[in-house]
Structure 1
Amino acid sequence: MTIQKIQLYQRPSSCLAIFRLLAPIERQLIMNLLWLESAIPTSTMAAWVIREGRKMYEDALGTLGRLHILPTATGKLALNSTFKSAFRQAITGGGTSGSFGVPAPPDDKRTPTDLDTLDAFALERWETILHYMVSSGSGQAPTKPSQGVLFLLQRSGLMANHGSILQITSAGFQFLLHSPHDQLWDLLLQYLRLAEERQMDLVEVLGFIFMLSTMELGREYSTENLSGTQKAMLEDLRDYGLIWQRRPTSRRFNPTRLATTLTSSSPPLPTSTGTSSGPQEGFIILETNYRVYAYTDNALQTAVLNLFVSLKYRFPNLVVGSITRESVKKALMNGISADQIISYLITHAHPQMRKNNPLLPVTVQDQIRLWELERNRLKSQEGYLYTAFASQADYDFVLTYAKELDVVLWENAPKRCFFGSVDGHANIKGFIERRTLGTSS
């Protein structure tokens, strides 16, 4: 892993992308050391830190050490030489490595791709994934993602097979609670794990992702300088909405806003919020009578609400429904927890709701949790009931044997019966038959 990180640091674009992802104090430490030609004692750097910031400073050193940007367990501080050289090149320019991508030559026969087209493509691809997750394979999603996306959703645990249908899991609903930026990184991290299983070069995979994050939105880039691994990634990244191509075989591509904002604080889509496009502020009002008013005309946000709300009316910019025992039970059956439902309502609460203290009605929160406890009160398990024993001695003898096998799920001594698991039935049945034959003999 250390060797892979050093190889990654040979690319100026990777160093710049990693720098953008670091915390402010970690970036400050790097900039203080970047132009020094020799190491400085750790005591010199520590002297600049006030007492209240000591823990934050030590945590920053630990993070940079794990990334192999700074040395660990030494008395002096100096940036990794490979990282320092490449990062200097990233911020000062120069070099011919094509680390930041090679712009495609001008072509008078082509109409330049405008930003609206790129944004529309990225939004369509991204919301296709989220719509399919929310619809849980019910066929309500407008379009179906590619097989590669479906495989990734399943392998990452965001969706699971129930018969022949993929359904959203508890982890999948938690994924919907995140911002689009966090959602995108969650999927890309899962993609990295999948790439490792496919024995793809992780340095090439991660290097290409970092390269995309440093490219210029609206500019066309050439695929000629990409490695074989990176060219193979183009199809996957198209499915996620990170790049746009006129044709799958095109030798040019455009990074979308989803890609160019990976390592920045800018929104990945111009109208994104929460799970999708829509109003920039919260849009849900919840009353004490369990009635829900959602001020949105976004189909995806409405579909998410439909996971745990019984929808009654739909207007051009308003959806009305109620949280009921049946709607919450349906959500619980899909693996969504009561705390996740409450968290979603809090995250997307209307500004008018945020004036309340507490924000959500306590009675509604408690009832949602009670409905969850009600469902968890009973558990079903297949097995066999053993009863009608001839004597107490026979019952005790067989029960003792079943307990030794650890297959007893329930027992009732006064009625001389017990319930055993399916796995232990063959052994118990054989034991009873042998005892019966022995008694007869």
Structure 2
Amino acid sequence: MGAAVNTPARCAALLVAAPASGQGKTTVAAALARLHARAGRKVRAFKVGPDFLDPCWLEAATGAPVHALDLWMVGEGGCAAALHAAAADCDLLVIEGAMGLFDGSPSAADLAQRFGIPVLAVIDASSMAGTFGALVFGLRHYRADMPWAGVLANRVASPRHRDMLREGLREPGDWLGSLPRSADWALPERHLGLVADLPASEVMARIDAAADALSATPLAALPLERWAVEFPAPDAVDALPPLLAGRRIAVAHDASFAFVYRANVDTLEALGASVAFFSPLAGEALPACDAVWLPGGYPELYPQQLAAATATRDSLAAHIDAGKPVWAECGGMMALMDEICDMEGRSHPGWGLLPGVTRMHRRLAAIGPQQLALDAGTLRGHTFHYSTAASPLPVVARTARPDAAAAHDAGEAVYAHEGVRASYFHAWFASCPGAIAALLGGRT
């Protein structure tokens, strides 16, 4: 039975971090979660910062929704509430960091220190020996009072290599084991990050293989109580006003429109809306609805299927012609435009419901936290895309970075056409429920 809402909750917790991206955090976090879930323990996973892809692997490992923890986007109160609720009902919380431990503002280190969560450092040791020890020492001692669990060496070449790494540690107790490089559990990647739409059987095979390897490490043998954290009860919050009561929101959701935070759906429902999912890739028409949310994803990977989705396109056109609202984020906006040019320069037709062209590039066009000031309030969120858009549509607003030093950054355009608002901006709905309700035609 979980702890009462107004009492602290105690649970084992680890924050899986690294000195940089690409070290194997997702592999280790998913393997750790799966290892304990297979043993019958109740495990929940979280992801630090904005991310739609890594959580898919963590969700497969735990069988439970994976929510974001970000001290700015989600807010300290939102993070506290999510951690407390999960800790009250679980044996282990596995939190995957973002980028390097100290990267970003706020960083994974900030979250670890705010909530006292021990850090498990994962380091790709494939091209180092003695320097491994210096790196571990730096991660642990760069800041005073860093909650610390230890280090796991990843992609280790041999038993001799493993021994060299362990012997180089200043503090032998930091060693929690190693994993060799293996194609059995390597996670495939493409632009934007990890591939998250593999067959479920392949996903689980890779996670289970990694969990099997992790089971032979000292990390797996240690009792969970070693990393117990007490999560204080969060401040009470008022229920959301029913700004979307009686409204039905249609949400595109498939491999092409996969960038959906479960917490955003929860916010819509907490505002009183009913949510109906539909699949453009399956050629489904809009369900009966009052408003539409077209999330981001990978429309550039499915241009033929989307062009053939005439029922989707025609029902969206009728919805727009009727003046009903549409909120289109990133990939959702791309699909609405006249044309998508892929990375090879080939042109593919979009749905032609917004004038404009989007072009894919081989380098990131924009990344980072953003906020959107609207009449009903300011939404927090982020941007992350490889394409750029050119459209004659009026720009009715622009996002801004949260730091004042970035005032020169023009931010992401918000285009307007009839009831459509479209942007590369990914919104975190709970940051300003009144603003998202207004975008979707609710009461303000």
Per the normalisation by structure 2, the TM-score is 0.25
Larger Rg computed on CA atoms? 1
Identify the structure with the greater strand proportion: 2
Identify the structure with the greater helix proportion: 1
Per the normalisation by structure 1, the TM-score is 0.25
